[in-house]
Amino acid sequence: MATMEQWQMTALKADFARVESELPTITADEALVKVAGCGVCHTDLGFWNDGVRTKKELPLTLGHEISGTVLEGPAHLKGRRVIVPAVLPCGECDLCKKGRSNMCQKQ
């Protein structure tokens, strides 16, 4: 059984807890990335330090600015080093098709 580890926020201003769990099952249009580095931004600090509400209940693994290597997924991505952006554009709207995905309104 393959496992992963993560550091989870369990309570406001509390030490993070190291958690080990099974690797997730991915679908054909997803990729599993072995994280090399993960940024923690001001929003994450707001969740942990200031009690800013999160969309999901605790415990929660913070960080969403990720770089790493694709372990599983589409054949053309396996083994590639990737950066996973904090916000994913839809890829289908007019702005995305014009190369302005940074302005996508359906992120």
Per-domain residue ranges for the chain?
A: 3-103
For residue 55, the model assigns a pLDDT of: 85
Question: How buried is residue 83: exposed, middle or buried, by Cβ count under 10 Å (0-12/13-18/19+)?
Answer: exposed
CATH number of 3-103: 3.90.180.10
pLDDT tens for each residue of 22-50: 999 999 889 999 999 998 888 899 999 99
How many Å apart are CA 87 and CA 55, to the nearest integer?
Answer: 15
Beta strand 32-39 pairing with 17-22: unpaired
CA distance 99 to 70: 25
How high is the pLDDT of residue 88? 83
